[in-house]
């Protein structure tokens, strides 16, 4: 299983790590941490050195109840960061965390390689056509509702079956548009209770039936720290435990704040 990132083939015979770079003032874990060029370059250099294959850049906070920002503000935050990273790390593979087709187009033109859409094409009807035209890998995530209301009262009849149906339908639409490289993300914490999240983690292997790479985004989320009475800041050990379970159940990409520990988890699982 491979994806093509700006002419470079990424092979998933061994799982890969995607490092998170939030350039938002209000993200749940590292909001406001990377405001200037020096801090951004230092963090990205650290993640790449520690073994990240991809760097996921986000300028729109999607934590539960996050403030909605305009497309213009998102572009003002994110385009200069993409320019900075491409200039300083010419071989970098940048993923853009956005649900807006215009942001997707502008950042890919600037040098990004992948689009990571939390809405799975549901919040911008132009997104599928845009990524198909750009011919870039697309991460299709599931979310019930919007970041502003998704955790108010999430309900499912059979969450695993509903998500498999959702992905099958959206992948079919993308295939019709001749997009080859699709990655799925079940969207841990996006319109789901703790019980829903753990059911998806337990049954992650069932999503392999869709025959596309699976991204797992568990890093420091409340589904991990709430059951142990902790906080996002203290959830690294819980994250590594959950990442290991995800890997054993078929995850191909771990999207994380802590790259070194995720790379180590992959190395241990590979020893099996």
- Residue 3 neighbours by CB distance under 10 Å: 25
Strand partners, 95: 56, 114
- Residue 60 neighbours by CB distance under 10 Å: 25
Give residue for tokens 């869709």: 210
What's the token pair of residue 216? 């797992």
Asked if 174 and 138 touch (Cβ cutoff 8 Å), the reply is: yes
Which of these is catalytic: 63, 192, 220, 221?
Answer: 221
Query: Is residue 221 among the annotated active site residues?
Result: yes
Which of these is catalytic: 63, 77, 122, 255?
Answer: 255
- Residue 200 neighbours by CB distance under 10 Å: 23
**C-alpha pair distances (Å), 210 with each of 157, 165, 187:** 21, 10, 16
Taking the C-alpha atoms of residue 117 and residue 124, their distance in angstroms, rounded to an integer, is 10
CA atoms within 13 A on the CB side of 208: 14
Q: How many residues does the chain have?
A: 272
Q: How distant is the alpha carbon of residue 49 from its chain centre?
A: 20
Strand partners, 57: 21, 96
Query: Is residue 16 among the annotated active site residues?
Result: no
What's the token pair of residue 271? 């020893």
Write the CB contacts of 249 (distance below 8 Å, at least 6 apart in sequence): 201, 202, 203, 204, 205
Taking the C-alpha atoms of residue 243 and residue 239, their distance in angstroms, rounded to an integer, is 6
Residues assigned a catalytic role: 221, 255
């Amino acid at each position: 299983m491979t994806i093509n990132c700006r002419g470079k083939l990424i092979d998933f015979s061994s799982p890969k790590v995607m490092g998170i770079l939030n350039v938002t003032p209000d993200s749940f874990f590292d909001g406001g941490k990377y405001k200037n060029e020096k801090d951004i370059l230092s963090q990205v250099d650290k993640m790449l050195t520690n073994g990240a294959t991809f760097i996921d850049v986000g300028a729109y906070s999607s934590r539960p109840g996050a403030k909605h920002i305009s497309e213009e503000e998102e572009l003002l935050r994110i385009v200069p960061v993409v320019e900075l990273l491409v200039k300083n790390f010419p071989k970098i593979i940048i993923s853009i965390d956005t649900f807006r087709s215009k942001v997707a187009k502008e950042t890919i033109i600037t040098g990004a390689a992948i689009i990571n859409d939390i809405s799975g094409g549901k919040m911008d009807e132009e997104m599928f056509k845009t990524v198909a035209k750009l011919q870039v890998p697309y991460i299709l995530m599931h979310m019930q509702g919007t970041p502003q209301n998704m955790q108010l009262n999430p309900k499912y009849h059979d969450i695993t079956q509903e998500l498999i149906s959702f992905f099958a339908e959206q992948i079919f639409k993308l295939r019709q548009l001749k997009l080859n490289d699709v990655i799925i993300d079940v969207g841990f914490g996006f319109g789901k209770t703790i019980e829903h999240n753990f059911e998806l983690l337990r049954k992650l292997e069932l999503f392999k039936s869709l025959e596309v790479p699976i991204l797992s985004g568990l890093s420091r989320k409340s589904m991990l720290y709430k059951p142990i009475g902790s906080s996002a800041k203290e959830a690294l050990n819980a994250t590594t435990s959950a990442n290991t379970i995800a890997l054993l159940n078929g995850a191909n990409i771990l999207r994380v704040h802590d790259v070194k520990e995720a790379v180590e988890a992959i190395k241990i699982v590979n020893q099996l």
